[in-house]
Structure 1
Amino acid sequence: MIGELEPREYRQSQHTALAAFSKRSGLMSVAAVALTLLMLSGCGHSEQLSSARIDTPVNVIPAPGSVERGEGRFMVTDGTQLAFGDGAEGKRIAEYVSDLVRRTYGVGLGSSGNTGNGVIQFELAAGTSVTGPEGYSLVATPERIVVSAHDARGLFYGAVTLWQLMSQGEGGLQVPAVTIKDSPRFDWRGLMLDSARYYQPPEFIRKLIDLMALHKLNVLHWHLTDDQAWRIEIKKYPRLTEVGAWRVAAGPAAAADIDPATGKPRLYGGYYSQDEVREIVAYAASRNITIVPEIDMPGHASAAIAAYPRLAASSKPSPQVPADWGIYSSLFNVEESTLTFLEDVLDEVVSLFPGAYIHIGGDEAVKDEWKASPRVQARMRELGVKDEHELQSYIVQRMEKFLSSKGRRLIGWDEILEGGLAPNATVMSWRGIDGAVAAASAGHDAVLSPHPTLYFDHRPYDVPRPPGRGRVITIEEVYAFDPAPAALSEEQRKHILGVQANIWTEHIRTPDRVEFMAFPRAAAIAEVAWSPVKDWDGFSARLPALLDRYKALGVRFAQPAPSRPLDPFRRTSHELSLCSDKIPLSLEDDAPVDSQGGERAVFLVDIMQPCWLFKAADLSKVTSLVASVGQVPFNFQIGDAVTAIELQAPATAVGELEVRLDDCNGERVAVLPLAPAVGNFAVTKLPVAKIAPREGRHDLCFTFTRKSVDPIWVIDSVQLQTSSAGEAE
């Protein structure tokens, strides 16, 4: 589920389909963005959140609640002893911090029962003056360090802070003399990872868990099922992974990539066995992280329906797992056998994930198939529900009762509010903050995860790689978000469990790209969720030390590319201006298909209006133009909105690239035939086009003629050539 702000009825109309896909594409109007940021900038717990800076800062993220600096420093050397008493938890945490210190600083720590001077002591102490199970105190003097907490969770976070306090200085590794008392602002401090669109191997999931722990994030929301894949093994229904975990990627390049073992197009996919899930869940628990699995219903069901067609509301379900992005109309039917199927799935899921919450999705369930199905309409009458929204609510309430019988709580995206909310359900609000406000006002718990600010598939910088949503969401924007809606009373705010950022992976194909999109923005949301301090300048000052730790740990984090002046005669698609911003995306090329076969190009394009402007080009000496183009599949489910895409009739069978002067209705100054590019799945350099010099500066508009929306022809780069360069060509 990928989002827009405002709730809306799912009607099969041009406006609604486009809005729905814009939601999937992470888009909204400029006015809506501005309104959201304005609303959020005024949010906060008045008794908790402070905009004041910490007077004695330390290089710790998230910022601790209380810091008092002392005199001197504690030196950490090879053989410095860790004392942890007799408890297994203390020993586990001491081993954890010892491993971190060895990997990042090359210093080996020992272990001892001695609690005197020269040691780092971890202790579980009932009388510790910190609040909550995740709170801790850390007292460092030149003689010794003591980390104490009521609970092993707090002890773990104290160990994380201790590691961050360490730095290489004169004389070796050192910890400043300091007294810290710290506890989190919110209980739910999460990241969501979408493993349905693209599969990440278990070793990467463990790495992500490790990195979350170092930011004191404690919830991994694991998106395991969607239209494009079913990624979790269910023993009772093996076809869910045998069929549902595999798809042929979209486009002619993938269709032409024949697997010699089958003689058919190569399948992309993968899934997590139950043994792998158990291992990952246990690993997460050792890092104080609870995994919340998501099993989508009643929408985003195409992969499950491909595996078991009897589950479909449609009389003609597709037998293949689809590869398009966007919103499919595929819904589960509401037969008793299908509801039993869903309960059977949840029964196995509950056995694998011991955490309190199970996420059932509930978003973007376009009701067209239910409306068109005589059997579903009859079933509605049997159940006594008045409309399709109440029918979805019936399913949600049924699943909520089932999960409650297993000692678990249901959580879903904010659409589960529509038609009536199940009594004990928790709402994850992604369409702005409205869902959380409505849920908390009605006495339900909520987690804030609003688009676009906390959607990490938006690019962190205006760079072409890696691909992602067209809009840029900076780390500063993430840090500015406050998950405490001012619209709620103090009593209602107690229902806000916390905050979560989402990593949707439609355009994040590889694990290293997930890291790039997640970090360091995850550090910003971690501080938002943990710290009572709101201090962007302080956070910025502490960030370089964190980035150094990333480097030591081998994290591929985002950082801005060095700025360089634009070439006055050459532009890439990302350097050109888009003519519109209806659905702008930074899309990766289709080829080479083999990820080892070379780097793919990335194009910035508005899929509703593929049109680019080379602004203020000096044409006084330009005599020719060279363009490199690519083609990407139109694999986007936008319903009837596709009819709003204007097509320019081609003069030839395969179409042309047209160049017009000053605006897109201006004089046509060049036409470049697309015939040389038709058979090439990668970037093609088109033949040189002659143009007449023009005095002064002019905008140049680039559009493609074509007979259909598929494929989307895209600009890779444009080169304007002067007379000498043109002759050289």
Structure 2
Amino acid sequence: MKLLSILVAVALIAIVATEAQTPVAGPLIVPQPQSVNFGDQTLQLNPDKFQIETSSSSQVLAIAIKRYQQLFFLFGAGKSSAPAATLNIKVASEDDTLDFGVSENYTISATTDSLAIMADTVYGAIRGLESFSQMIIYDFASQQYTLPFLPVVIVDFPRFPWRGIMIDSARHFLPAAFIMHTIDALAYNKMNTLHWHVTDGQSYPISSATFPNMTLGAWDPAATFSIADVQEIVAYGKTQGVRVVPEFDVPSHTYSWGAAFPSIISNCPDSFNGNIGQYPLTPANNLTFEVLDALFTEYGGYFIDSYFHTGGDEMPLACWTQDPAIVEWMTDLGWTTVEAEQYFEDRLDAILAPMKKTKLVWNDPFVNGVQLDPTTVIQVWDSSFQDIVNAGFNVIVSYNYYLDQQDPTGTVQWMFENTWTNFYDSDPFDGINSNLDKILGGEACMWGEQVDQLSIDVRVWPRAIGVSERLWSAQNQTDVNNALTRISPFTCRLSQRGIASGPLSADFCMLPDDFESYLRGPRDRLTPDQIKSLLVNNKKQ
């Protein structure tokens, strides 16, 4: 009887979830655009006679157009006798520099006679191409593609300029091809930032020309990123309008650094009961900062973004009181552990300054009492940040967006995938009543202890779709049932593109024959010449 009761309950929940999908009139677009006006006409499309044209000479846009020419028609040519149609793209600026704050605004205007995307920049045009792709419907019975709800005018722009996901390649190695696959998924969701948690206590997987022995701290020689890998990832992100922001977590979470430089690791083995994850660097040895300076300067040349994350979370200050050399150093200076942490953060500022990088940290140093440079951006992983914005710091919100958790906001869902509603209901402004302009946006975090390239997609998607809409769409776009009506077909669309995104209710998702080709890798690969050109040409024109 107990088993029968459980089965009945599950069935009822499934019925409720299905019935909750209230119909939405008009195009089903994710994230929900700021403004959509539509009619009741339909245009039949002929894939063999459909073209995307632009007068822009942007390399980024040319690559995007080639990509979306394929994504528009995933199921082949179909059967159509429709005449030729052309989607015209106009961008106001030829500058394809990718950095924080670049305009992603776009307008779609489509009638049975004219199809157009207008945008400030190529990155707005890319967001417009994604929305346009979601407007195209394929009918499996007739094998025809149509563009319904014409005439349509969409005016769209993001609510927040920083919208991202953090991935962790240290706890479990994620191959470069899979990281680019994740960049694809971010772009499909109109997210613009890949926060790459590169190193941690368990492994140091990224190569260095300055110190080739750093990867002695990797899980295995095969579990490492070459410099060429890093450059391709960054360049690929640019073609999708996705900034790649690296995180090298210091001073804690650095045990793996000791494989190359044992003397820069604090000596406090009794602090962690065998858990190597949080072992910190020592501030008492100047070699620590020489290594940091050399590595960060080198990596700053590969990562073209103007932001550089130095971690700072979960610093076990008690460790420094158990290392005799650090104790002696602090005693000589008359310092507490917080003053030692202050010294460490100040040295990081001095390293990043000539690199012209803005430092990001987790909120821990601020909570500990460290006086951070006013330009520092603080990423918040707990809910107490009114005092942070009151102190004048810009903030990235993550505290309710932890994808590795079963109950990310303290509310347990009966079905795991339904935690997307937890994210959807969590606004970056929650609990904040002043200085809202200091909130730059948010990131969903997928820590890597229990996911690898075989499982991470289904843990992230479709749950993170709730985050993507919360960060893009208008603040008052909060109807979960409305969102479900759009997100259910969108998660199928992601799966059709090779992103292993799970369903949210009982349905059937037809997959194209080649979908498996993209389950572990990117939609496209760049040539060496393209990579070089994309990285060199990221300066304001």
Relative to the length of structure 1, the TM-score reads: 0.59
**What is aligned with 1:62?**
31
Q: Secondary structure at the match of 1:70?
A: coil
The aligned runs of 1:635-650 (5 Å cut-off) are: none
Q: Secondary structure at the match of 1:521?
A: coil
Q: Per the alignment, do residues 86 and 222 of structure 1 end up closer, same or farther by CA in structure 2, a change over 3 Å counting?
A: closer
Contact map agreement 2:308 2:359 (CA 8 A) in 1: yes
2:453 matches 1:500: no
The aligned runs of 1:613-652 (5 Å cut-off) are: none
AA aligned to 1:229 is: S
Task: Give the length in aligned residue pairs.
Answer: 458
**What is aligned with 1:122?**
89
The alpha-carbon deviation at position 426 of structure 1 amounts to 0.8
The aligned runs of 1:323-472 (5 Å cut-off) are: 327-381=277-331, 386-417=335-366, 418=368, 419-432=370-383, 434=384, 436-450=385-399, 453-459=400-406
**What is aligned with 1:185?**
159
Q: Per the alignment, do residues 158 and 460 of structure 1 end up closer, same or farther by CA in structure 2, a change over 3 Å counting?
A: farther
**What is aligned with 2:522?**
none
2:217 matches 1:244: yes
**What is aligned with 1:95?**
66
Q: Secondary structure at the match of 2:241?
A: coil
Q: From 207, 227, 234, give the equivalent of 1:233.
A: 207
The alpha-carbon deviation at position 349 of structure 1 amounts to 1.3
Q: Report Cα offsets for 1:219-267 as digits up to 9, x if no partner.
A: 10111111100011122222210x2002xxxxxxxxxxxxxxxxxxxx6
The alpha-carbon deviation at position 396 of structure 1 amounts to 1.4
Q: Report Cα offsets for 1:429-486 as digits up to 9, x if no partner.
A: 0022x1x322211111110001xx411112499xxxxxxxx99871111111101144
The alpha-carbon deviation at position 356 of structure 1 amounts to 1.3
Q: Report Cα offsets for 1:572-628 as digits up to 9, x if no partner.
A: xxxxxxxxxxxxxxxxxxxxxxxxxxxxxxxxxxxxxxxxxxxxxxxxxxxxxxxxx
**What is aligned with 1:686?**
none
CA separation in 1, counterparts of 2:288 and 2:276? 24
Contact map agreement 2:168 2:446 (CA 8 A) in 1: yes
AA aligned to 2:267 is: S
Contact map agreement 2:108 2:154 (CA 8 A) in 1: yes
The alpha-carbon deviation at position 404 of structure 1 amounts to 2.3
The aligned runs of 1:576-655 (5 Å cut-off) are: none
Contact map agreement 1:230 1:245 (CA 8 A) in 2: yes
2:489 matches 1:545: yes
2:180 matches 1:206: yes
AA aligned to 2:106 is: Y
Q: Report Cα offsets for 1:180-228 as digits up to 9, x if no partner.
A: 0000000110100010000011111111111110000111011111110
Q: Report Cα offsets for 1:8-42 as digits up to 9, x if no partner.
A: xxxxxxxxxxxxxxxxxxxxxxxxxxxxxxxxxxx
| Identical amino acids, percent of aligned pairs | 27
Mean CA deviation greater in 283-292 or 373-382: 373-382
The alpha-carbon deviation at position 86 of structure 1 amounts to 4.3
CA separation in 1, counterparts of 2:416 and 2:458? 16
The alpha-carbon deviation at position 390 of structure 1 amounts to 2.4
Q: Secondary structure at the match of 1:208?
A: helix
Q: Which has the higher contact order (CA 8 A, sep 6+)?
A: 2
CA separation in 1, counterparts of 2:90 and 2:218? 46
Q: From 295, 302, 305, give the equivalent of 2:258.
A: 305
Q: From 228, 251, 256, give the equivalent of 1:275.
A: 228
AA aligned to 2:72 is: V
CA separation in 2, counterparts of 1:537 and 1:391? 51
CA separation in 2, counterparts of 1:140 and 1:383? 69
The alpha-carbon deviation at position 296 of structure 1 amounts to 1.2
CA separation in 2, counterparts of 1:119 and 1:389? 62
More strand per residue: 1
The aligned runs of 1:312-327 (5 Å cut-off) are: 312-314=265-267, 327=277
Contact map agreement 2:255 2:277 (CA 8 A) in 1: no
CA separation in 1, counterparts of 2:382 and 2:72? 41
Q: Per the alignment, do residues 132 and 375 of structure 1 end up closer, same or farther by CA in structure 2, a change over 3 Å counting?
A: closer
CA separation in 2, counterparts of 1:472 and 1:121? 38
CA separation in 2, counterparts of 1:305 and 1:423? 31
Q: Secondary structure at the match of 1:92?
A: helix
CA separation in 2, counterparts of 1:362 and 1:200? 23
AA aligned to 1:122 is: I
CA separation in 1, counterparts of 2:23 and 2:328? 63
Tell me, which stretches of 5 or more residues in structure 1 are unaligned? 1-52, 109-115, 247-266, 462-469, 563-729
CA separation in 1, counterparts of 2:462 and 2:269? 46
Instruction: Give the CA RMSD over aligned residues.
Output: 2.9
Q: Secondary structure at the match of 1:300?
A: coil
CA separation in 1, counterparts of 2:235 and 2:269? 41
Tell me, which stretches of 5 or more residues in structure 2 are unaligned? 1-21, 94-100, 409-414, 507-541
Contact map agreement 2:56 2:91 (CA 8 A) in 1: no
More helix per residue: 2
CA separation in 2, counterparts of 1:472 and 1:549? 17
Contact map agreement 1:335 1:379 (CA 8 A) in 2: no
Q: Secondary structure at the match of 1:403?
A: helix
Q: Secondary structure at the match of 1:83?
A: strand
